Structures are given as C-alpha cells and as structure tokens.
C-alpha cells in the first residue's frame, strides 16, 4: 500500500472503458492495493478486492443478475456494494456491515478512473476529446519498473530525444540546443513551452519536421503534450500515469492527430510502441527509482527547468518520493 493522502485523493486510470464489458470482472492494482473492477448495465464499479465475510477475492467471482457473487460462499453484492443475499441463511436479515468497500469511479476520455479517497479535483477536460477533426488512438498501457514521477519526467523532457530516440525524434550526432522556455504554474497545473526541435521522423508520417512542443500537466500524474508542425498540423499525447507500486507504473496513452488520419491508427500504434520501447529501459535504469528527496541530489541544467518546477510542485502537493 502506498501511503499518501495526496495520491489517494487524485483520480487514477485503472482500465480502458471499452475493454470492460457488461458482466466483466477484473483484478486491477492501484497504489499498492488490489481492486475488483466490474460492470453491469453500463456502470463500472471499483471496490477493495476483498469479501467482508472471510476475506476471499471478489475478483474471482462473477456477475449474476447484475450483482457480484463472491466465489467462496456466494454472498451477493449490488452495484452500490451492499450485500443482498447470504445463501446459507436467506431468511435472516443481512447485517448492515455486510458491504464491500467501494471507491469513487467514473469514466471520461475513454478511461475508467478511480479515486481511493475523496477527490479534490475532477479529471481535467481533454482539449481534443470532443473535436472530431482529430483521430483518437489509444495505446499502452506501457509498464515502467520505475516510480510514477520518473515516468512523467521522461515524457516532459525534450533533451533526451536525440539520444534515446536517435534518427527519429532527434540526432545524437547533431542534437538541438534547447532554447530557454517558459514554465507557468497555476491552479490548472503546469504549462511549459514553446520548445522547438528538429526531428528526422517527428510523427507517424516519418518525415523530417520542425516540431514545437507545449506541455501541460494538469494534475501530478497526467502529462499532456501538444506537438505542432505548422499552422494546421498537430497532434497531442495525453498520458495518464498509474502508480501501481512505488516502483511499478503504467502509462496509458491517448494520441490525437488532425492529419494523416487514413490508416493513422496502425502507424501511431507502431510508432508509440517504438518510442516507449526505447524509453522504458532507460527510465527503469534510473536510480533511485523514486525521485531523490532533495533537488541537489541530482544535477539540473537550464533545459531541465520543467522537471525542476515539477519536482517542487510535487513536494508542495505532498506526493511521496518527491520531497
């Protein structure tokens, strides 16, 4: 269990909406805790994966008549988590304590989001979600053997592009100098950019481009980037990150592109797999897996401005491992 009030009160992605059909029961893990996720009549529910009777896993159960049935003694729970039947004594009143431990659960932007505490902020509005000019492609989740802040810092860091993604997002033999850029902090999180770099194969068309990056991090584990090539063509990645354990992280990617849409889904899927395939071994190698407690334990240069502001913001928010 990751003990953090700050993280408990955030929304985290646990699944893709379309991958959970009516009647499905799944085991998912969030903040070091096992959850049962299930759906009936279109509504998804996320509970502690534990039956109050004898502690069996509810995720081993099944859905019958719209209720989740515990695999051990068949107690039934309705969508609100209330026990409706104890088969061994069906005529006896059901104790009030016979309930599942339920959590806040909502669906937005194609994801199922769970909050284990009391949500202090809603899931932010995704800028392209309602815009039909953009093709939407879901990829991942990609698994990092690293803490969530290390994974987030990877996708908001432009100076690694030429080295980790040589010949695609930059050139190791001719890296761009990163010009100074702005970072703003507000109650909408952090915004940074523009940052302009040259890329031999900067998008799923795989052609040389000058790319302008703008970053937005509305909540600590929800990095978003907009990358534009000219006045019309742009794409975004929304990359909510799920802290599964302190050092195990899932990154879900929703890519939106307003160009080269014909057949774009397959090319974006392949490209994202290539990019994250290059990032993951490097991020997994970082020590410590958590961000060091003090800024001075690593060395920061001007190009790292966004990471530095991000670390300070995490500290202010009380996110563990980022003191």
Q: Which one of the spans 71-79, 101-109, 134-142, 261-269 is the region binding ligand FES (CB under 6 A)?
A: 71-79
CB distance 310 to 153 below 8 Å: yes
Task: Give least dist CB 26 to ligand FES, A.
Answer: 18
Closest of 240, 246, 252 to residue 288, by C-alpha: 246
Q: Which two tokens stand for residue 38?
A: 């299930």
Rule CB under 5 A: say whether 279 interacts with Fe ion.
yes
- Cβ-based nearer residue to ligand FES, 38 or 75: 75
Task: Give least dist CB 154 to Fe ion, A.
Answer: 6
Q: Per-residue contact track with ligand FES, 74 to 93, x per CB under 6 A?
A: -x------------------
CB distance 247 to 289 below 8 Å: yes
Q: Per-residue contact track with ligand FES, 3 to 42, x per CB under 6 A?
A: ----------------------------------------
Burial (Cβ within 10 Å: 0-12, 13-18, ≥19) of residue 175: middle
CA separation for the pair 48, 50 (Å, rounded): 6
Number of residues that bind ligand FES (CB under 6 A): 8
- Cβ-based nearer residue to ligand FES, 36 or 250: 36
Residue 54 interacting partner from ligand FES, Fe ion, none (CB closer than 5 to 8 Å by kind) = ligand FES
Task: Give least dist CB 264 to ligand FES, A.
Answer: 47
- Cβ-based nearer residue to Fe ion, 59 or 307: 307
Tokens 């992280």 belong to residue: 249
Instruction: Give the sign of the dihedral formed by CA 218, CA 219, CA 222, CA 223.
Output: positive
Strands (DSSP E) along the chain, which ranges? 12-16, 25-30, 33-40, 43-48, 62-64, 67-69, 76-77, 83-85, 102-108, 111-115, 135-144, 182-186, 189-199, 209-217, 224-228, 234-238, 241-245, 248-257
Among 30, 51, 79, 226, contact with ligand FES (rule: CB under 6 A): 51
Among 48, 63, 72, 108, contact with ligand FES (rule: CB under 6 A): 72
- Cβ-based nearer residue to ligand FES, 20 or 68: 68
**Phi and psi dihedrals of 321, rounded to 5?**
75, 10
Task: Give least dist CB 47 to ligand FES, A.
Answer: 12
Rule CB under 6 A: say whether 56 interacts with ligand FES.
yes
Residue 51 interacting partner from ligand FES, Fe ion, none (CB closer than 5 to 8 Å by kind) = ligand FES
Task: Give least dist CB 86 to Fe ion, A.
Answer: 53
The 8-class DSSP code of residue 283 comes to H
Rule CB under 6 A: say whether 73 interacts with ligand FES.
yes
Q: Which two tokens stand for residue 294?
A: 């003090």
Rule CB under 6 A: say whether 62 interacts with ligand FES.
no
CA separation for the pair 200, 204 (Å, rounded): 11
Binders of ligand FES in range 122-161 (CB under 6 A): none
Binders of Fe ion in range 89-148 (CB under 5 A): none
- Number of alpha carbons in the 13 Å side-chain half-sphere of residue 199: 26
Which stretches of the chain bind ligand FES, using CB under 6 A? 51, 53-54, 56, 70, 72-73, 75
Which stretches of the chain bind Fe ion, using CB under 5 A? 279
């Amino acid at each position: 269990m990751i003990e953090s009030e700050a993280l408990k009160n955030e929304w985290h992605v646990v699944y893709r909406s379309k991958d959970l059909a009516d009647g499905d029961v799944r085991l998912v893990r969030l903040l070091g805790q096992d959850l049962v996720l299930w759906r009936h009549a279109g509504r998804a529910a996320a509970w502690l994966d534990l039956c109050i009777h004898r502690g069996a896993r509810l995720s081993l159960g099944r859905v019958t008549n719209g209720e989740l049935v515990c695999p051990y003694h068949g107690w039934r729970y309705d969508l609100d988590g209330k026990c409706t039947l104890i088969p061994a004594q069906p005529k006896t009143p059901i104790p009030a304590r016979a309930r599942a431990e339920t959590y806040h659960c909502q669906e937005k932007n194609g994801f199922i989001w769970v909050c284990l505490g009391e949500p202090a902020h809603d899931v932010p509005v995704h800028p392209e979600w309602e815009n039909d000019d953009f093709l939407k492609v879901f990829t991942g989740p990609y698994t990092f053997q690293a803490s969530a802040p290390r994974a987030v810092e990877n996708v908001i860091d432009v100076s690694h592009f030429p080295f980790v993604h040589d010949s695609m997002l930059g050139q190791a033999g001719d890296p761009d100098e990163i010009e100074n850029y702005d970072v703003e902090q507000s109650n909408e999180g952090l915004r940074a950019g523009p940052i302009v770099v040259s890329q031999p194969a900067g998008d799923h068309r795989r052609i040389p481009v000058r790319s302008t990056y703008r970053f937005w991090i509305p909540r600590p584990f929800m990095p978003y980037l907009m990358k534009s090539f000219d006045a019309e063509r742009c794409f975004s990645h929304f990359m909510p990150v799920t802290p599964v354990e302190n050092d195990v992280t899932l990154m879900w990617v929703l890519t939106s592109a307003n160009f080269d849409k014909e057949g774009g889904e397959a090319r974006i899927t392949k490209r994202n797999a290539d990019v994250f395939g290059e990032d993951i071994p490097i991020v997994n190698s970082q020590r410590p897996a958590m961000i060091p407690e003090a800024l001075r334990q690593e060395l920061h240069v001007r190009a790292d401005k966004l990471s530095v502001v991000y670390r300070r913001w995490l500290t202010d928010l009380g996110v563990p491992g980022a003191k």
